[in-house]
Amino acid sequence: QVQLVESGGGSVQAGGSLRLSCAASGYIACRYDMSWYRQTPGQEREFVSSIDWYGSTTYADSVKGRFTISQDNAKSTLYLQMNSLEPEDTAMYYCKRRFARSSVCVLPQGRYDYWGQGTQVTVSS
């Protein structure tokens, strides 16, 4: 029912920029937070950044000052502007939507987290 599709990944040189997008389909009348995670082979998935329903943002220390998370007015698309990219940023980047359980938001099977399939970012030195 809920689909998240990432795009915008690619290969860039160190110091370059990319903007990732996450398009969501499937409307649910619940408030939610949006996040970006990343993962490299053999590593656990790592938190990158998040933006809550009210627009408050959070960043991992490793990307502070370089990445900016945002979303459009309709909250249908999530973005991650990545500047000053470093080889250490190389990873598969995933978009996540976390719905907020409330008296008017109870989802089937108790599932409140949804993930996209990821988009690859490769940064060369």
Interval 57-95: pLDDT, tens: 999 999 999 999 999 988 789 999 999 999 999 999 999
**Cβ distance 21 to 77 under 8 Å?**
yes
The type of residue at 76 is: S
Q: What is the dihedral of CA 25, 66, 57, 52, to 10 degrees?
A: 10
pLDDT, tens only, 91-114: 999 999 999 988 888 888 999 999
Rounded to 5 degrees, what angle do the CA atoms 38, 90, 67 make?
A: 65
